[in-house]
Amino acid sequence: MVVGRLINDSVTTQEPDIINDYEYSFFSTWMYTVHVLVQLILSAFSITGNLLTLACFVKSNRLRQQNYWLICSLAVDDLLIGIESPTLTLWNKFGEFPEQCLNSGLVNLRIYFRAFVYFASMLHLVVIGLDRFIAVMFPLRYVLLVGKKTVIAMVAVVWTVPAISLTFKITRLVRKRKLGCEGILLNKENSIMAFVVYVVVLLLLCGIYGKLWRVAHDQRRKILDQCPQRPQQQQQQQQQQQQQQQRQQGVKENRTLKSNRTVLIVVEISCGDAG
């Protein structure tokens, strides 16, 4: 009897665990499938758009000017991101990723490449924002400040800085044997650094484009004040003035009518008293 109770208890306690594991695996598989599909769709749009940008840059002579080199470099970087993101996701889902290969060279290369392209993309956005800031704030000096050599130096910086910084970071992690998912994702220091970098870049972009929006808004207001009014605007103003004059005349007429009524009432009262 005791053995039977133990067997029954073990069976009853194991059944919900099996069901919960099945539901969890089904739910996680469904969510991961949706995640993969969304990434594939976004990557397809990213790859198509960046390829079209590069094709326009190659065919159009106007776009080959130095002002558009940063945009072309950003298109190359975003193209690499669009190719890398679904590839990494599909490999993690359908490929073998055992714990023994966390410190292997292939995994380290994947992690390095992903961090490199994302870091370079953020630097591209900052440099393009600074370029637009100089063009708007100092339009006369822009040609002298931002020449061909300056643009080449900007493109070199946005690709060299992430390569050097990540090389030192990954070599230090390799020496400590803490690379792979354990070193990149679960390391508190790396998480804090990534968060700080994203916040700093976000604040810089908000400050730059906020200032540009304010300058553009002020210039638009000055231009509208200095420009002659359009015929439609003049007609609207004339109509508004006529409506105001009609309202004022109506108010005056009402006042005169009220005053005449009061005079008539007083006359009638006085005549009645006399009679």
If one compares 77 and 189, the residue with the highest pLDDT of the two is 77
What pLDDT, on a 0 to 100 scale, did the predictor assign at position 3?
40
- pLDDT one-digit tens code per residue, 213-246: 988 888 888 887 777 655 556 667 677 777 777 7
If one compares 195 and 74, the residue with the highest pLDDT of the two is 74
What pLDDT, on a 0 to 100 scale, did the predictor assign at position 106?
61
Residue 209 corresponds to which tokens in the numbers above? 């484009």
CA proximity to 116, closest of 75, 158, 56 = 158
What pLDDT, on a 0 to 100 scale, did the predictor assign at position 160?
92
What pLDDT, on a 0 to 100 scale, did the predictor assign at position 159?
92
Percent of the chain with pLDDT over 90: 9
3-class secondary structure, 270: helix
The helix or strand, by DSSP H or E, that contains position 72, with its residue range, turns out to be helix 69-94
Whether 70 and 131 have beta carbons less than 8 Å apart is answered as yes
Whether 136 and 215 have beta carbons less than 8 Å apart is answered as yes
The helix or strand, by DSSP H or E, that contains position 7, with its residue range, turns out to be helix 2-59
Q: How far apart are CA 161 and CA 237, in angstroms?
A: 58
What pLDDT, on a 0 to 100 scale, did the predictor assign at position 16?
43
pLDDT category of residue 52 using cuts at 50, 70 and 90: very high
Total length of the chain:
275
If one compares 9 and 207, the residue with the highest pLDDT of the two is 207
Q: Is the pLDDT of residue 1 over 70?
A: no
pTM of model > 0.75: no
**Strand ranges inside 157-219, DSSP E:** none
| Cβ neighbours of residue 66 closer than 8 Å, sequence gap 6 or more | 146, 147, 148, 151
